[in-house]
Each structure stands twice: as C-alpha cells, then as structure tokens.
A and B are shown apart, each in its own frame.
Chain A
Amino acid sequence: QKEVEQNSGPLSVPEGAIASLNCTYSDRGSQSFFWYRQYSGKSPELIMFIYSNGDKEDGRFTAQLNKASQYVSLLIRDSQPSDSATYLCAALNYGGSQGNLIFGKGTKLSVKP
C-alpha cells in the first residue's frame, strides 16, 4: 500500500516563528511532490511543488525534498495567523495507480498571535 504520512498535529507556533511541516512517502517511484493548503470549509489550493532534491523557495515558503530519505518538508517563515490551515502533502508517480497521485491526511497548523 503506497502511502504518504504526515503528523496530523495540531502544530502550534507563535506569530513570526518558522513553521516546519514534514511528510514521508513510501513509493520510491514518486517523482513530483506538492503542498496544498486547505482552510476550513474550503478546497485545497496549491502552495508549492518540487521535483528535484534540495530546496525550492517562493516568498515565505520553502519546500525541501530528499529522495534518498523519501522525505518532503515545507517551511513557512514569519508565520502569520492567516497561515492557520491544514497542509496536505501529495506525491505523484507517473506510472502509479490512484491517478498516480497519493495525498497525506494533512497537518493542521495553528499560528497564535
């Protein structure tokens, strides 16, 4: 069973701190990785995607990928209360089943003012 594992949280950080969200995946054939943010009662929206080992930065967000360790992370710098949401990690295997895409169950982040 191919899985994407995330700590369900809640992860609580003070405003202005760095929030670190982690994800591991079981399918070594996964090639692309996505982070989605989902506010309560809303649909998931794409935050970051990463294909290559290393770091990818976009504003306050940094995605990190380590394929050898099958580990993906999302760092949120200068966290704001508006960042409070559930963050979903997803792994894509072009040759896999389930439409090639496996989602984790999400980590709930709470940023306290």
Chain B
Amino acid sequence: GAGVSQSPSNKVTEKGKDVELRCDPISGHTALYWYRQSLGQGLEFLIYFQGNSAPDKSGLPSDRFSAERTGGSVSTLTIQRTQQEDSAVYLCASSLVGSPLHFGNGTRLTVT
C-alpha cells in the first residue's frame, strides 16, 4: 500500500477484555515497530521486528502484551485483560533497515 495502515483507528473496550490491534506495513519494509504514546507524552517503544530475526520485545510493559508478525508483513499487537492504564495511542511504523520510519495513523485505545 501507499503507507502504513493501522486498524481500527479507535477502539473502546471494557476493563478485562482482550484487544487486537493490526498493522499493515509498507510493502517491502522489513523492519516493523510498535510504540505507545499516552496523552502529552513521548513515544514508548514496545517491540521491534526485523525480517526473520527474533523480535526485540524489551519494551513490552507486561506479559499481558504480545505481538506477532506473520509472513514478514502484517503485525498484530494483542493486549490481554486490558487495564485503564493501557489507554493510549498505539503507533506502528515500518522501514527499510537503517532508513527513516514511516508511521501509521495509530489506534486510539480507550479502556473503560
């Protein structure tokens, strides 16, 4: 596609429910990143995928968070048993190795 696509753009869920956020990177981009941004805050790194290498999961805040990337393309970020502190904008970005990141429009998650 022309850019990084994220879905849904907005998600409201009840505390304790599981959610899945999807990212479709730019075709051919081997690197894929997930970040979280709370209101008025900077980007919080979550996870990084590069080709077929093991992902860098060092930013995942708890074991309720997981992500996968199938076929080196689409990625899904899953949050289990959501908590109110999980409310934030979740941003996906992709790139060629060593090149600038291209960000999607993000998914705004609200946990009630």
Residue ranges of A at the interface with B (Cβ–Cβ < 8 Å): 31-32, 34, 42-46, 49, 88, 90, 92, 94, 97-101, 103-106
Contacts and interface: CB of A to CB of B under 8 A. Distances in A.
Contacts of A104: 42
The majority secondary structure among interface residues of chain B is loop
A103 B100 CA distance: 12
Contacts of B35: 103
Interface stretch (B13-21, B64-72, B75-83, B103-111): B103-111
B50 A88 contact: no
Interface of B: 31, 33, 35, 41-43, 45, 48, 50, 56, 58-59, 91, 97-98, 100-106
A5 to B, nearest CB: 11
23 contacts: A34-B101, A43-B91, A43-B106, A44-B91, A44-B101, A46-B100, A46-B101, A88-B42, A88-B43, A90-B101, A92-B98, A94-B97, A97-B56, A98-B48, A98-B56, A98-B58, A99-B56, A101-B33, A101-B48, A103-B45, A104-B42, A105-B42, A106-B42
Contacts of A97: 56, 58
B90 to A, nearest CB: 11
A101 to B, nearest CB: 7
B105 A43 contact: yes
A46 B53 CA distance: 26
A101 B103 contact: no
Which of A43, A44, A94 lies at the interface centre, i.e. has the most chain B CB atoms within 10 A of its CB? A43
B57 to A, nearest CB: 11
A98 B106 CA distance: 20
Contacts of B105: 42-43
Given A34-B100, A99-B50, A103-B43, 16 more contacts: A31-B98, A42-B105, A43-B103, A43-B104, A43-B105, A44-B103, A49-B100, A88-B42, A92-B98, A98-B45, A98-B59, A99-B33, A101-B33, A104-B42, A105-B41, A105-B42
A99 B31 contact: yes
A2 to B, nearest CB: 11
A8 to B, nearest CB: 9
